[in-house]
């Protein structure tokens, strides 16, 4: 059975200095000898800690501008030696190698150094850490004897365990930290590979500042598991949810669940659709999602009124949906929402009174997410044997960019309705037709093979909800290929239409708009959402 060796010597050498002083003090208080290098050694010494430079330990100076300092048998022998093998112990004694029991190392900030558009190749290369990954990998390989820490978030856990375990860590902790360490070096090497395979217009000369292609030849991704799920999209599928290591602020993966059952696969997918839609609006907004499509979107002077307007669009579909707000939720809004069957409610925050309302409905999942405009770098779509990769659809067309192509000019109210409708259509599955008026969706037609059918479905939904489409605005996520789709929406009551344009039959469709005496504006931008 593996023993838990007492930590007597530690090597601390970190780029990210967060928490390193606290770790060093805790180790020093237990009489642990501390080896260190460079800036870490300087910081610890300045704080009054007894630190031994690695070069003093090895008897070999740092050379080649620091490229060679920890790459030495006294370092790697001290890390890699198995304490349960006499031959290893004999080799250590013969060569004067002392055991190193704990290693805290994180790596040169390669991502940060290569984040700009004008990165000199030499600067990038010099930020490729060699000694650090070597120590991390060696320590992780010998986790039965060595504690390896690559994440400052783990310092506290290790300190507590050393205090409560007579100066040692448990095998379970060491093995878990080792797995984390290999994930750390894998992500690091992936970032280097992605950078180097994105370069163009260079022979590889260090003085070059090469251009970079948006999509590297080798794409490495790393996600960390948040939870296993009972099942996936369907009960016969298994599933899990993973989060990016550094997910941008404002994205769904940064949620904080306040109450409710564990999120399901479909909960998370639909919550993402709701959140991405609601945060695009500047005014207080409410979005209700069912099966990844908005079934109600509205803006108002308050979250309560926004909710009432959104719910009116399609009360039937809203049953068991996902509801998102871009403002804090108060008691009155919570009381209105709680009257309906809802799976998830998302908002930047919930006040105490709102929390109390939902507390009576413990199955309702409450998620807090900060409202920020951060976006991930790529969108992904899995296909058989491959991956489609694209930039996220961040485009929000402004009114100043839109071209009026009809004889009739939009009124101020129509402009407001058109812009709102366009924002909504962006988040509806193609082919999308969305009727809107006075800051709320009146009818949503989503995901049909024919744009005409989407228009008819939107009209039917409005009728079923008891809403009139008279003088409404219509958004189409892509152009009308024929006038028949336009005729359907005008027959339903639309007085103005916003669409991308770009069809060979644009002139025919514009002529139809003039014939029907309605407003038509073109964005020049489409929002397919498959």
Q: Specify whether the CB–CB gap between 147 and 140 falls below 8 A.
A: no
Other beta carbons within 10 Å of 403? 10
Inter-CA distances, 478 with 69, 304, 427, 434, Å: 60, 32, 13, 12
Cα–Cα distance, 75 to 100 (Å, whole number)? 8
Inter-CA distances, 34 with 41, 336, 450, Å: 9, 60, 70
CA torsion through residues 64, 207, 130, 127, sign: positive
Please name the residues in contact with 405: beta carbons below 8 A apart, sequence gap of 6 or more: 501, 506, 510, 513, 520, 521, 522
Q: Residue 378: exposed, middle, or buried by beta-carbon count in 10 A (0-12, 13-18, 19+)?
A: middle
Cα–Cα distance, 197 to 473 (Å, whole number)? 47
Which of the 8 DSSP states describes residue 248? Answer: P
Please name the residues in contact with 441: beta carbons below 8 A apart, sequence gap of 6 or more: 294, 296, 297, 298, 310, 313, 421, 424, 434, 435
Q: Residue 400: exposed, middle, or buried by beta-carbon count in 10 A (0-12, 13-18, 19+)?
A: exposed
Q: Which residues pair with 124 in a beta bridge?
A: none
CA torsion through residues 398, 399, 405, 406, sign: positive
Q: Specify whether the CB–CB gap between 228 and 336 falls below 8 A.
A: no
**Alpha helix segments (H runs only) across 279-368:** 303-313, 315-318, 331-338, 352-359
Cα–Cα distance, 280 to 506 (Å, whole number)? 29
Q: Which residues pair with 104 in a beta bridge?
A: 12, 149
Candidates 52, 120, 180, 291; catalytic one = 291
Q: What angle do CA 230, 236, 237 make, to 5 degrees?
A: 65
Contacts 24+ apart (CB under 8 A), 57-62: 57/98, 62/37
Token representation of residue 180:
């984390």
Please name the residues in contact with 90: beta carbons below 8 A apart, sequence gap of 6 or more: none
Parallel, antiparallel, or unpaired for β 33-36 and 9-14? parallel
Annotated catalytic residue 426: no
Query: Widest CA span of the chain, in angstroms?
Result: 97
Candidates 8, 25, 52, 141; catalytic one = 141
Phi, psi (deg, nearest 5) at residue 285: -135, 155
Annotated catalytic residue 141: yes
Q: Which residues pair with 243 in a beta bridge?
A: 224
> Which are the catalytic amino acids?
141, 291
């Amino acid at each position: 059975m593996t023993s838990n060796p007492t930590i007597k010597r530690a090597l601390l050498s970190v780029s990210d200095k967060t928490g390193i002083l606290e770790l060093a003090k805790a180790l020093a208080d237990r009489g642990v000898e501390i080896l260190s290098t460079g800036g870490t050694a300087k910081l610890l010494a300045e704080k009054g800690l007894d630190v031994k430079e690695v070069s003093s330990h090895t008897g070999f100076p740092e050379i080649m501008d620091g490229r060679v300092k920890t790459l030495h048998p006294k370092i790697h022998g001290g890390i890699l030696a198995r304490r349960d093998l006499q031959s290893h112990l004999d080799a250590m004694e013969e060569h004067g190698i002392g055991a190193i029991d704990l290693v805290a190392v994180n790596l040169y900030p390669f991502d940060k150094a290569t984040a700009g558009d004008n990165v000199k190749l030499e600067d990038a290369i010099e930020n490729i850490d060699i000694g650090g990954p070597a120590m991390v990998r060696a320590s992780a390989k010998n986790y039965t004897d060595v504690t390896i820490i690559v994440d400052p978030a783990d310092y506290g856990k290790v300190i507590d365990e050393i205090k409560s375990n007579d100066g040692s860590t448990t095998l379970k902790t060491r093995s878990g930290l080792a797995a984390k360490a290999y994930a750390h070096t894998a992500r690091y090497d992936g970032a280097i590979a992605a950078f180097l395979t994105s370069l163009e217009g260079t022979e590889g000369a260090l003085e070059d500042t090469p251009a970079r292609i948006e999509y590297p030849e080798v794409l490495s991704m790393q996600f960390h598991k948040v939870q296993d799920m009972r099942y996936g999209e369907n009960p016969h599928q298994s599933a899990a949810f993973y989060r990016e290591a550094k997910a941008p602020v404002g994205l769904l993966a940064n949620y904080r669940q306040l109450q409710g059952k564990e999120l399901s696969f479909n909960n998370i997918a639909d919550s993402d659709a709701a959140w991405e839609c609601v945060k695009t609006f500047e005014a207080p907004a409410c979005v209700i999602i069912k099966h990844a499509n908005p079934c109600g979107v509205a803006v108002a002077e308050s979250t309560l009124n926004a909710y009432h307007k959104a719910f009116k669009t399609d009360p039937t579909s809203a049953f068991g949906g996902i509801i998102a707000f871009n403002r804090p939720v108060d008691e009155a809004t919570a009381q209105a929402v709680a009257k309906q069957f809802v799976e998830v409610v998302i908002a930047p925050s919930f006040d105490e009174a709102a929390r109390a309302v939902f507390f009576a409905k413990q199955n309702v999942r409450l998620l807090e997410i900060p409202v920020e405009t951060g976006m991930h770098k790529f969108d992904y779509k899995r296909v058989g044997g491959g991956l489609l990769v694209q930039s996220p659809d961040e485009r929000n067309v402004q009114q100043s960019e839109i071209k009026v192509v009809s004889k009739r000019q939009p009124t101020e109210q129509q402009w407001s309705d058109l812009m709102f409708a366009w924002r909504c259509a962006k988040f509806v599955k193609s082919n999308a037709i969305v009727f809107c008026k006075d800051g709320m969706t009146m009818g949503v037609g989503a995901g049909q093979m024919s744009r005409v059918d989407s228009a008819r479905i939107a009209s039917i939904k409005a009728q079923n909800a008891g809403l009139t489409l008279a003088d409404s605005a219509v958004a189409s996520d892509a152009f009308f290929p024929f006038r028949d789709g336009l005729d359907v929406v005008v027959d339903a009551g639309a007085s103005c239409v916003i669409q991308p344009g770009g069809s060979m039959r644009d002139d025919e469709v514009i002529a139809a708009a003039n014939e029907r005496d309605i407003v038509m504006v073109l964005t020049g931008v489409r929002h397919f959402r498959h």
